[in-house]
């Protein structure tokens, strides 16, 4: 039996608003990471400093998640001993695995392209949920939707501006690997949340994953030097992005089918593309191929959202 809160979170308008807020925050992360590299003077080939940057961000995000969750429930959120394994598994998939690939990948491609590639996590999540965990039925309509989505990704790699069109394993390849890791995390957060508080899972996996990333970055010589009001403010905002967006996503996944939630992931690349174009002055990259690719991606996810479980 679902309680009142869980029933509330299954309402369509709640899913739409909650998922939209999460995707808007995630979409803003694309230009923010690029700006963060500039403010902290991190070069695109300085992988160690990128990992340190990510580690500090997610450790702060975890602390912020637990503080906000504790204030909301009026009790200190502490995980059970038996939850340690689940938290560690999520930390490896959601924070360590995803963001090692994500931060390196985004450092080697334009923010607009990164946003478009980010949309593939929706399709990976659907395929993994259906084929590996049997949480979804992979109907012909959903399969066509996946093909359309990947067609959009292929299109943006084959046409248009050279900076957008060329394929880079350290850029495009790493972004796709990041999305596969994120897709597994979405499926597992659904599975683990059946018996666990999703906010506790979110907060502590960020702390564990963030510390691991920071240690990796520091061991390999990473450093952050240029601490200013602007750079610290950006770091805090990015921690806020993760804390709020991922907690909302986890709460929605706990009580809704995976496809019903991840379908709204199409909003993330849309927000990401246009925020990147405006904030990073990449409007020149919004050529016909980028827009057609976005249309294909959105059409694919629309088909998934209207597909029946049969």
User: What does the chain come to in residues?
Assistant: 310
Q: Is the distance from CB of 95 to CB of 213 less than 8 angstroms?
A: yes
| Greater model confidence, 225 or 293 | 225
Of the listed ranges 20-24, 40-44, 160-164, 306-310, the least confidently predicted one is 160-164
Angle between helices 288-306 and 140-158 (to 10 degrees): 170
Q: Which candidate, 101, 21, 38, 23, places its Cα nearest to that of 279?
A: 38
Q: Which candidate, 52, 79, 54, places its Cα nearest to that of 65?
A: 79
Q: Which residue has the tokens 């927000």?
A: 271
| Distance spanning both ends of the chain, measured CA to CA | 25
CA distance 25 to 271: 9
Q: Which residue has the tokens 């200013």?
A: 228
DSSP at 166: S
Q: Where are the domains of the chain?
A: 4-306
At 157 the pLDDT is 55
Q: Which residue has the tokens 């999520």?
A: 90
Q: Which candidate, 274, 23, 295, places its Cα nearest to that of 152?
A: 295
| Greater model confidence, 250 or 117 | 250
Q: Which residue has the tokens 């429930």?
A: 73
Cα dihedral 270/236/99/48 (nearest 10): 130
Q: What is the per-residue pLDDT across 175-188, written as a single tens digit (0 to 9) for each?
A: 888 888 888 888 88
At 237 the pLDDT is 93
Q: Is the distance from CB of 168 to CB of 306 less than 8 angstroms?
A: no
Q: What is the per-residue pLDDT across 191-206, written as a single tens digit (0 to 9) for each?
A: 888 788 888 988 999 9
Q: Which candidate, 170, 175, 77, 187, places its Cα nearest to that of 134?
A: 187
CA distance 57 to 159: 35
């Amino acid at each position: 039996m679902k309680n009142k809160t869980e029933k509330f979170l299954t309402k369509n308008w709640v899913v739409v608003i909650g998922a939209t807020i999460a995707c808007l925050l995630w979409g803003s992360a694309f230009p923010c990471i690029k700006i963060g590299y500039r403010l902290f003077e991190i070069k695109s080939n300085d992988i160690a400093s990128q990992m340190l940057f990510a580690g500090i961000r997610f450790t702060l995000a975890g602390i912020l998640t637990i503080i906000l969750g504790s204030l909301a429930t009026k009790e200190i959120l502490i995980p059970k001993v038996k939850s340690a394994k689940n938290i560690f598994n999520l930390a490896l998939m959601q924070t360590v695995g995803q963001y090692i690939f994500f931060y390196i990948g985004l450092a080697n491609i334009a923010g607009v392209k990164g946003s478009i590639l980010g949309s593939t996590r929706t399709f990976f999540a659907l395929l993994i949920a259906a084929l590996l965990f049997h949480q979804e039925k992979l109907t012909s309509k959903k399969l066509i939707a996946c093909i359309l989505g990947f067609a959009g990704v292929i299109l943006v790699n084959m046409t248009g501006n050279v900076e957008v069109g060329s394929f880079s394993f350290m850029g495009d390849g790493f972004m796709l690997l990041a999305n596969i890791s994120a897709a597994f995390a979405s499926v597992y957060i659904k599975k683990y949340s059946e018996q666990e508080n999703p906010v506790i899972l979110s907060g502590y996996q960020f702390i564990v994953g963030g510390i691991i990333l920071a240690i990796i970055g520091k061991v390999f010589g990473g450093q952050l030097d240029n601490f200013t009001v602007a750079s610290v403010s950006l770091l805090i905002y990015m921690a806020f992005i993760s804390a709020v967006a991922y907690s909302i996503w986890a709460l929605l996944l706990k009580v809704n089918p995976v496809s019903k939630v991840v379908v709204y992931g199409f909003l993330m690349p849309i927000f990401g593309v246009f925020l990147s174009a405006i904030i990073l002055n990449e409007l020149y990259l919004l050529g016909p191929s980028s827009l057609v690719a976005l249309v294909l991606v959105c059409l694919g996810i629309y088909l998934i959202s209207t597909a029946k479980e049969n």
